[in-house]
Amino acid sequence: MAPYMSKQMKPIRERVEAKLDRELITQLERYCEYLESDRDYVIAQALAIAFRKDKAFRAWLLKHPVPLAIPQAADASTSPAIKS
């Protein structure tokens, strides 16, 4: 039997560090205050908008797909030896 509600989405979040001009930080803080939102949300939304609206970037992505990830071995003893 299916549940009444779908499961809550829990995206994987990673820390990113960036150095910005002081004026840009001031504008970011003001925009956060205006939206009553935190930095993480505002930066993530701004990047999502830029990525979505940049048609040249979307075309570039189609020509440069992300390669499929190859599962890593749990430890070095199970991975194949590299011969030189």
What would the pLDDT profile of 9-64 be if each residue is shown by its tens digit?
Answer: 888 999 999 999 999 999 999 999 999 999 999 999 999 999 999 999 999 999 99
**pTM higher than 0.75, yes or no?**
no
Q: What residue segments make up the domains of the chain, in order of their start?
A: 19-62
Structure tokens at 9: 């989405």
If pLDDT is split at 50, 70 and 90, which confidence band does 80 have?
low
Task: Label residues 31-64 b or e (16+ Cβ within 10 Å = b).
Answer: ebeeeeeeeeebbeeeeeeeeeeeeeeeeeeeee
Structure tokens at 18: 């960036």
Q: Alpha-carbon distance 18 to 40, whole Å?
A: 12
